[in-house]
Structure 1
Amino acid sequence: MKIISGKIIKPQKVVIYGPEGIGKSTFAAQFPKPLFIDTEGSTSHLEVDRLPRPTSWQMLRQYIKDLKGDTMGYRTLVIDTADWAERLCEEAVCQKYNKEGLETFGYGKGYTYVKEEFGRMLDGLSDLIDAGMNVVLTAHSIIRKFELPEETGAYDRYELKLGNKAGNQCAALAKEWADMVLFANYKEIVITSKDGKKKVSGGQRVMHTLHNPCWDAKNRHNLPEELPFDYVQIAQCIPSKETAKKTIPAPAEPPAPPEQPKEEPVPVSDDGIPKALADLMAANNVTAQDIQQAVAHKGYFPADMPLKDYPNDFVMGCLVGAFPQMLKVIQDLKKVPF
């Protein structure tokens, strides 16, 4: 198994949503070398590179597939906007099943088909991450009434304008898929005058990076909860060069084993038997034939194999090093009557 340690630097998957006209497209245009797929035709005022507006879901999917094979040097793909791309997805599903609309499927099946098809597009976009491209989805926001089951009352909540029907989970898929979900909005201040009347002022553009009961947002870079809606605020989180995933280097060639010291020649007697063994044999009145019979009895070597042909490590380890045990085997064999 290969173990990957530490941080992995890779392109980012970013979802940017907010009210119309706040500058989502302009914000996305500041990502490294972007290429736009303009599904709603709203980038004509921007100096950006774009593909022809897709007129079908199949055309949009083909763009993504082609970029996977060749990014053409672009480092960011921007789909502007995801909610208009979802419209193409819905049309494709209805055409496939010959239905006039999603409601005619019954039992929410149409929305399930849209969710599955939208998920396949997100899988294709993840392949672009592996190819070295950042992916940015812009989307409009919508305000919905939200009620907590255990509480009374309700409050307004900003959400992605994906899947206006409860059965559609495209918004949930997009939020799970993304590394960053940024909610852009205007920061307004309510001022109470001396006569008790309230008025709203301000209007500074900000982006929220963390979840709040009133909106969805997240990031994995420890960003502050609120930042000015300016690309420089997140630039450090976006790889500016074509940095593929941090990969594990190929395992290095194993180091050469240390040179073993040369074995010193074992001194031998005149008849070729190592001298250490010959001395023990002489001291205990043991003959070469006694050793050969004991070695054969233990199953080490044949009985007719000359003592001088035994390997040195066997002689020094088993015969010399364990001579008392070998001597007992010899003595036991001599007690056996033939």
Structure 2
Amino acid sequence: MTLENTKAIKASDNLVMIVYGKGGAGKTTFAASAPRPLILDFENGTKYLGERGINADVVRMRGWFSPQDINELALLLRDHDTVVIDPLGEAMEKLIDSPNIRGKQYRTGDGALTMAGWGEVKKQMRNFIKWLRDTGKHVIIVSHVSEISTEQGLEKRIQVATKLSDEIPNMVDVISYLGIQKQGDDFVRSLFTPSQGGLFDSKDRTGRIPMVVEIGEHTGWQDLMNAMVAPSMPQPTSSPIPNQTQQEAPNTTQPPSRITVAQTTEMRSLAERMSDPAGKSYLLQKAVSGITFEEAQEIINRAKASLGV
């Protein structure tokens, strides 16, 4: 057992990320812009990339990995810095249909997965993603989006088997929604990474990604890297030692527990400056919610970072 201090622990250089969105939004194109990518294409989504001037190595997956495939993948990764699973839902289907998930232990009489079968699928996918992560390469998991109408609005969730929806996000550092919108005569792609909770699946373990990042078709990864800000570190404050004859009373002022009027006003002001509809809608929705003071301030800080203010 080794004792370490957090200040001496450096974050690993590789990023494990889920990017999800509608078909045609540019998810695969974004993944292909990462450093020296190897795309594991589970639904033949890369067939037109070459015609668009995108250069990336691809393995078109017709089924799940055999032990020999894993050994060959390990060799291929020596010449690549990024590995892409595209898309997650189809990869899960091929794993579920693989010879690894057979027999009475894993299947009911009509072929559906048993509880043990779902457990084995989760175990194998979890181990595969961990193995990729531990190679030291960037890992980008591409996913389609499921849109669900609720009283709060239109939820956008990662499209994956229900029994795995809470499992996969725990394995990654970042979850971002990729959307596309028209601005004048142009179309703009944006990565949307709001605070966790609300209408979007979202996560930022790095604490460095702005809420909205506009990305180019061929420069998406570098645009994201350029937008990532240094993590904010609290600065220690020096307090004078009170003299023996006059003691100052301690400062007992506490921040409010809930979002303040000033924060609500600032969110609405920031929303007006947002060109991305998803970001604007998210800010307006949070401005009238009952979130905590700390969560509201985090949303404001991320929105300001997105706008460069």
TM-score (norm 2): 0.59
Give 1:91-130 correspondences, 5 Å limit: 91-92=97-98, 96-97=102-103, 99=107, 104-106=112-114, 108-129=115-136
Residue 75 of structure 1 is matched in structure 2 by 81
Give CA-to-partner distance per residue, 1:20-49, whole Å, 9 cap, x none: 000011111110111111111111222333
Tell me the CA shift for residue 140 of structure 1. Answer: 0.5
Give 1:254-269 correspondences, 5 Å limit: none
Please state whether the residue corresponding to 1:138 is helix, strand or coil: strand
Please state whether the residue corresponding to 1:72 is helix, strand or coil: helix
Give 1:16-165 correspondences, 5 Å limit: 16-46=19-49, 47-59=54-66, 62-68=68-74, 71-92=77-98, 96-97=102-103, 99=107, 104-106=112-114, 108-129=115-136, 133-146=137-150, 153=151, 155-163=153-161, 165=162
TM-aligned CA distance change 1:144 to 1:188, over 3 Å: farther
TM-aligned CA distance change 1:212 to 1:203, over 3 Å: farther
Contact 2:209/2:227 (<8 A) preserved: no
Q: What amino acid maps onto 1:73 in structure 2? A: D
Report the identity percentage: 19
1:217 aligns with 2:215: no
Residue 234 of structure 1 is matched in structure 2 by 224
Residue 191 of structure 2 is matched in structure 1 by 207
- Distance in 1 (CA, whole Å) between partners of 2:25 and 2:110 is 31
TM-aligned CA distance change 1:214 to 1:172, over 3 Å: same
Tell me the CA shift for residue 159 of structure 1. Answer: 0.7
- Distance in 2 (CA, whole Å) between partners of 1:155 and 1:48 is 39
TM-aligned CA distance change 1:123 to 1:6, over 3 Å: closer
Backbone CA RMSD of aligned residues? 3.1
- Distance in 2 (CA, whole Å) between partners of 1:212 and 1:10 is 27
TM-aligned CA distance change 1:48 to 1:3, over 3 Å: same
Tell me the CA shift for residue 145 of structure 1. Answer: 4.1
Tell me the CA shift for residue 174 of structure 1. Answer: 2.2
Residue 251 of structure 1 is matched in structure 2 by none
Q: What amino acid maps onto 2:112 in structure 1? A: T
Give 1:146-185 correspondences, 5 Å limit: 146=150, 153=151, 155-163=153-161, 165=162, 168-169=163-164, 171-185=165-179
Tell me the CA shift for residue 229 of structure 1. Answer: 3.6
Instruction: State how many pairs are aligned.
Output: 212
- Distance in 1 (CA, whole Å) between partners of 2:78 and 2:131 is 17
Contact 2:19/2:177 (<8 A) preserved: yes
Structure number with greater Rg is 1
